[in-house]
Structure 1
Amino acid sequence: MGAGAVGCYYGGMLARAGHEVTLIGRPNHVEAITRDGLRMQTLTFDEHVRVTASSEASAVEGASLVLFCVKSTDTESAAAEIKPHLAKDALVLVLQNGVDNADRVRTVVAQEVAAAVVYVAAGMEGPGHVRHHGRGDLVIEPSSKSEAVARELIDAQIPTEISPNVRGALWAKLILNCAYNALSAIAQLPYGPLAGNASIQACMRDIVGECLAVAKAENVTIPGDVDASVRMIAEKMPTQYSSTAQDVARSKPSEIDHLNGLIVRLGETHGIATPANRVLHALVKVIETKYGSRA
């Protein structure tokens, strides 16, 4: 549900492995996929993958697994669209940016919902054409179906692990997004050149420091070395533009309210100053007002 870059990449990988997959997306993508198949241009192959596509939420009917990949701004409305059509035993696996989307989906649907942390660099190159720039691994929350789903994903060449600390992993991903997304959008630069600038590196340190202070106040245990992860993103995905940069380039509303904007709001709640995140959030929002009437 939500066949943008993330939905097309993971749906396409599952279809390529022989699973029956339906991509639910915008009409121009559906038309191209129905006519030509989904073009998957990855680091290791460039193929047209045959897969069913629809622009109707009712296409989730009968699915045992729903990859929920819409923008964070559309979480409740998209969940409400699929709600009448979900199979009783379906698992809704939430593949979104932000840290609270699974909880938001749970307020709408009765079926089991599990959060996932997504580490993939991908973008839509055109209708029905997804381009993969790097990684592709998932960290998923334990559920009654997680082990079976993880095996299917791994068999489809999607590295997957189950973690009891998905909340911490989601926050780790949020911090990466806060460090890169707005800066990439404002500069319209990919991660490599962006992180290679000494002034930007200093800005990123400020952004990450604020995020970690807010996470501590939220009693979040963040796994791994955050600073090393921030550096690794630029090393592993040097040509990738952030999803916010892609939205801005296409004059589309971004998820900035659920990224740097979330850090600002939580910082206010806890009395923590977040000036670096506040400036980035404000600048992206101002950019959005320039094209708001065209979005």
Structure 2
Amino acid sequence: MKNPAIYIIGSGAIGKALAVFLKLENRDAILVRGSVDHQPEEENTITVYGQDDQVSRQTVKTTTFSHLSDINGIVLITAKAFGNTAIAEKLRHKEGDFSIVLLQNGLNIERPFDDFEKVYRCVLFSTSQVTGTHEVSFKTVTESPVGNLEGDNAGTEEIIQQIHTSYFGFRSEPNIETIVWNKAIINCAFNSICPLLEIDNGIFQRNTEAFEMAQTIIGECVAVAEKYDIKLDQKEIEQTLLLISQRADGQLISTYEDIRNKRRTEIESLNLEVARMADEINMPELVPTTRTLGEMIRIKSNLKMARN
């Protein structure tokens, strides 16, 4: 049986790395630009520098929605989460049979896809950073879990069989909502503290004060989750944060890269979404630090983008 086509929407660092790893295992992977259209199709040789001096290199096709008459297979969305509404609208206008997997971190990012039948969440435990033209640096902590938010995980194993690779692994997770919250909380710390300190991801395992600030954010977010009947283990989240900090030492978090390159950040789906959820239940006092650092990131990003 022929493997289905795999469309990776988002040609950034994660998308490029995943496309290379899929091509290495003879999968039909195509990069799709999510935010632009009507541009020529390209074929580029992409190089991924991985762990233990591992280097992977493949030629990958990059296209846009305007070149796709229909879509049949698996759609992996690695674009920034703030683009999900526009991506969902483009997918609605495509014929075909496809499953959607959101390879994005953040809370409630799946809402634009509520009317699609086959939608899965994936929580990324890998990091990737653009290091040059068609070059990325890739590190993985562990296999990234995939599941549907209905909790029955119907169809998940079939998806994983197609997208799992030796260097970028995936696993089935029936309790994906808890994992989504865990990782979103971790990202609330990484994506606010690291850019404000202008430092790499390894800071939390090197600096006690930075880790204490992360603990404050984690505690606030866990308190909000509990109000939504989601039970989390704060100590477990802290240990995962330290593990990621150790494994991603020297790597820059995506929000810091976005600010440096005058791009919009995803802070709205992280710190500011937690703050919005606290406001929704009339308990803004739960998240003073999480909100403040999120607002500082928003302001810093806007100031940077406004500069010529």
Normalising by structure 2, report the TM-score.
0.85
Distance change in 2, residues 1:58/1:102 (3 Å): farther
**How far apart are 1:32 and its partner, in Å?**
11
Moved more, 79-88 or 180-189: 79-88
Distance change in 2, residues 1:203/1:286 (3 Å): same
Q: Is the 8 A contact 2:224 2:286 kept in 1?
A: no
Letter in 2 for 1:105: F
More helix by share: 1
Moved more, 4-13 or 72-81: 4-13
Aligned residue for 1:48?
Answer: 57
Aligned residue for 1:105?
Answer: 113
Distance in 2 (CA, whole Å) between partners of 1:61 and 1:294 is 40
Question: How do residues 108-187 of structure 1 correspond to structure 2 at under 5 angstroms?
Answer: 110-135=116-141, 137-142=143-148, 143-187=153-197
Aligned residue for 1:62?
Answer: 71
**How far apart are 1:245 and its partner, in Å?**
0.8
Q: Is the 8 A contact 2:47 2:57 kept in 1?
A: yes
Q: Structure 1: 5+ residue runs without aligned partners?
A: none
**How far apart are 1:136 and its partner, in Å?**
5.8
Aligned residue for 1:289?
Answer: 302
**How far apart are 1:151 and its partner, in Å?**
2.1
From 265, 271, 276, the counterpart of 2:276: 265
1:73-129 Cα deviation digits (max 9, x unpaired): 1111111122222522x111111121212232224xx34111111111111223322
SS in 1 for 2:263: coil
From 232, 239, 249, the counterpart of 2:250: 239
- Is 1:253–2:257 an aligned residue pair? no
Q: Structure 2: 5+ residue runs without aligned partners?
A: 1-8
Question: How do residues 5-16 of structure 1 correspond to structure 2 at under 5 angstroms?
Answer: 5-16=13-24
Aligned residue for 1:75?
Answer: 84
Percent of paired sites with the same residue: 18
Q: How many residues in Structure 1 have an aligned counterpart in Structure 2? A: 289
Distance change in 2, residues 1:123/1:265 (3 Å): same
Distance change in 2, residues 1:74/1:207 (3 Å): same
The alignment's C-alpha RMSD in Å is 2.4
Aligned residue for 1:229?
Answer: 240
1:249-273 Cα deviation digits (max 9, x unpaired): 1111101111111111112223142
Distance in 2 (CA, whole Å) between partners of 1:262 and 1:155 is 32
Distance in 1 (CA, whole Å) between partners of 2:109 and 2:145 is 15
Moved more, 146-155 or 13-22: 146-155
Normalising by structure 1, report the TM-score.
0.89
SS in 1 for 2:296: helix
**How far apart are 1:178 and its partner, in Å?**
0.7
Aligned residue for 2:216?
Answer: 206
